[in-house]
């Protein structure tokens, strides 16, 4: 009994000792973890210390800068001159630090190309510019000097039949590219004569030759089919690359080159857009964008909802067409999941513009048009524009013809440099013998000829008159704040008369 009691006490003491041995290290481990968590919390970076990725599309499309020029500033080239010489012409890049620029040249066919790193073409006011001279000397087609990225200027000399000879000089005026005429370089070398001591320094010769006159033709090129800005998605003149929406613009150059006669012909080059229906041959109707049919709410005019299906419009008053695809069209209070079509009208011009045209085609098509614009006052504070046209055409269907008359005057009044008021009116009338698109089936199961008119002539008439009045007031408080007030009124009158020939056939067969 004593032995067993001693064993029990011994076991209890051992268990107690083991429990103490296990429990004692636990608080020490808990303090270690707490210290590590506290240190981890202290090492968390602040939001201001995190380097965020670029969110501006303008930064994403920039050409990477040459790392060798990041340490220094960009050297401005304030001007470009072309001075004639006895051997050709000298192209001078005017800069005070020409020795700091790095030049690499190469040849491509008849082109001499030199890239000047570390410089930019900039006027004294900070604006970039481009120099171009066409046929400055014999054998040279053109000389161009342009900015190709943020720190590189490219000099291109195009030879007419051969690669031009170009030499580089460094002068106090800047960098000098001496371009020799290919006709001079192609001549047979003369017999060498005894050298005479030079009485004039090369710098003095170039200074004397600068007084000789030279005729230069400087022209600028533009991207005809490229439109950088649009107002459809944001109601402001915003670059397309900064708008996260699918927008396609049909500019005036495309309308003119394709000779589009209606808005639906203008958007034929836009993907995902189709002509939904024909308003009895009138230049109106519905459109299908991404598979969804849009009626009255799918057409905009200068950002305002236009009465689409039963109204008519003239392509001659439209400057460009903007198509916004997708459900983002709800921005304009339109419940069109496919998208909207916005037409931007022509505005008065500050320079005189006169255009008189006449078009003719098959099926008796003819269209005279007049477009006049310019200032009404000598100070240019009042501008006007008048667009008129008359379009008449027939059809491959007998007795079908249409006439469309357009009168669209507009005026712009400027009240100072920051305020202007635009007033415009448009009258469009469409009168036609409507085509009948239903094709009857004859009793023998055949179809009538393609030019068959299945109605009474002069009894199926369509007369649509649309009047549009618009007012636009703009006032700029500063570069960042602008007030814009728009008013648009559309009045539409439509008369439709139908007198159809009914065709039917009943055939009973008894077996």
Same domain flag for 434 and 474: yes
Q: Which residues contact 192 (CB under 8 A, 6 or more apart)?
A: none
Residue 358 forms part of a structural domain: no
Residues 387 and 486 in one domain: yes
Instruction: Mark whether 393 and 470 lie in a shared domain.
Output: yes
Same domain, yes or no, for 299 and 411? no
Do 378 and 261 fall into the same domain? no
Using CA atoms of 197, 200, 202, 204 in order, give the dihedral in degrees to the nearest 10.
180
Answer whether residue 317 is part of any domain: yes
Same domain, residue pair 340 and 396? no
Q: Are residues 404 and 486 in the same domain?
A: yes
Which residue's structure tokens are 């009691």? Answer: 5
Residue 56 forms part of a structural domain = no
Residue 179 DSSP SS3: strand
Neighbours of 5 (CB within 10 A): 9
The reply to whether 192 falls in a domain is: no
If asked whether residues 385 and 493 sit together in one domain, one would say yes
* Domain identity same for 489 and 417: yes
Location of structure tokens 């080239």: 77
On whether residue 150 sits in a domain, the answer given is yes
- Total structural domains within the chain: 3
388 within domain boundaries:
yes
Are 248 and 281 found together in one domain?
A: yes
- Residues of the domain holding 282: 229-345
Contact 339, 276 (CB under 8 A): no
DSSP state of 173: T
**Is 420 strand, coil or helix?**
strand
In this structure, are residues 75 and 153 in contact, taking their beta carbons and an 8 Å threshold? Answer: no
Q: Using the 3D structure, point to which of 183, 208, 243 is the last residue of a domain.
A: 183
- pLDDT score, position 193: 46
Same domain, 389 and 482: yes
Tens of pLDDT, residues 434-478: 777 667 777 787 888 888 877 777 777 888 899 999 999 999 998
Which residue positions in the chain have pLDDT lower than 70?
A: 1-73, 182-224, 232-237, 276-285, 295-297, 307-309, 328-335, 437-438, 498-511
As a whole number of angstroms, the distance between CA 36 and CA 27 comes to 15
Please provide the size of the chain in residues. 511
Confidence at residue 384, expressed as pLDDT on a 0 to 100 scale:
96
Nearest CA-CA partner of 393 in 380, 377, 404, 384: 404
- Which pLDDT value is given to residue 214? 52
CATH code for the domain of 134: 2.60.40.3500
What distance in Å separates the CA atoms of residue 258 and residue 261, rounded to the nearest whole number?
Answer: 9
Alpha-carbon distance of 347 to 353, in angstroms, equals 12
| pLDDT value of position 441 | 76
What digits encode the pLDDT tens for the residues 127-171?
788 888 888 888 888 899 988 887 889 999 888 888 888 888 777
Helix (H) or strand (E) holding 154, with range, is: strand 152-159
For position 15, what pLDDT does the model report? 43
Domain presence at residue 272: yes
Chain segment 279-318, per-residue pLDDT in tens = 555 666 677 888 887 766 678 888 888 866 677 888 899 9
Residue 400 belongs to some domain of the structure: yes
Give, in order, the Cα–Cα distances in Å from 264 to each of 5, 12, 285, 449.
108, 99, 9, 28
- 84 lies in the same domain as 125: yes
């Amino acid at each position: 009994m004593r032995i067993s009691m001693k064993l029990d006490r011994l076991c209890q003491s051992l268990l107690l000792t083991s429990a103490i041995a296990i429990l004692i290290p636990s608080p020490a481990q808990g303090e270690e973890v707490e210290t590590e968590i506290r240190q981890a919390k202290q090492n968390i970076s602040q939001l201001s210390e995190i380097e965020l990725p670029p969110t501006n599309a303008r930064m994403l499309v920039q050409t990477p800068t040459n790392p060798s020029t990041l340490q220094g500033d960009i050297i401005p080239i304030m001007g470009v001159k072309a001075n004639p010489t006895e051997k050709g012409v000298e192209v001078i890049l005017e800069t005070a630090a020409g020795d700091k620029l790095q030049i690499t040249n190469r040849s491509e066919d008849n082109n001499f190309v030199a890239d000047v790193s570390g410089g930019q073409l900039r006027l004294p006011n900070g604006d970039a510019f481009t120099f171009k001279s066409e046929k400055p000397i014999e054998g040279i087609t053109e000389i161009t000097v342009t900015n190709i990225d943020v720190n590189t200027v490219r000099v291109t000399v195009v030879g007419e039949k051969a690669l031009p000879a170009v030499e580089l000089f460094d002068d106090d005026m800047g960098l000098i590219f001496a371009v020799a005429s290919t006709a001079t370089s192609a001549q047979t070398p003369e017999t060498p004569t005894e050298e005479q001591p030079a009485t004039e320094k090369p710098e003095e010769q170039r200074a004397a030759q600068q007084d000789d006159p030279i005729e230069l033709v400087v022209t600028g090129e533009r991207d005809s089919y490229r439109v950088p800005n649009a107002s459809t998605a944001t109601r402001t003149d915003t670059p397309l690359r900064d708008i996260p929406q699918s927008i396609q613009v049909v500019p005036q150059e495309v309308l003119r080159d394709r000779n589009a006669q209606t808005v639906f012909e203008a958007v034929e080059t836009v993907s995902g857009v189709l002509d939904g229906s024909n308003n009895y041959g009138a230049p109106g109707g519905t459109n299908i964008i991404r598979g969804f049919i849009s009626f009255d709410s799918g057409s905009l005019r200068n950002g305002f909802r236009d009465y689409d299906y039963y109204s008519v419009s003239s392509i001659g008053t439209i400057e460009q067409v903007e198509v916004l695809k997708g459900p983002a069209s709800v921005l304009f209070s339109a419940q069109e999941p496919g998208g909207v079509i916005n037409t931007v009208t022509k505005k008065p011009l500050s320079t005189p513009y006169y255009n008189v045209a006449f078009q003719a085609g098959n099926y008796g098509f003819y269209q005279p048009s007049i477009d006049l614009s310019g200032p009404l006052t000598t100070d240019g504070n009042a501008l006007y524009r008048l667009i008129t046209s008359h379009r008449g055409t027939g059809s491959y269907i007998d007795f079908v013809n249409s006439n469309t008359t357009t009168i669209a005057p507009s005026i712009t009044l400027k009240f100072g440099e920051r305020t202007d008021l635009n007033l415009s009116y448009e009258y469009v009338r469409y009168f036609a013998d409507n085509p009948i698109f239903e094709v009857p089936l004859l009793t023998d199961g055949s179809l009538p000829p393609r030019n068959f008119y299945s109605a009474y002539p002069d009894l199926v008439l369509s007369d649509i008159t649309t009047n549009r009045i618009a007012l636009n007031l703009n006032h700029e408080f500063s570069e960042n704040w602008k007030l814009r007030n728009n008013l648009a009124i559309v009045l539409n009158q439509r008369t439709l008369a139908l007198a159809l020939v009914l065709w039917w056939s009943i055939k009973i067969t008894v077996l």
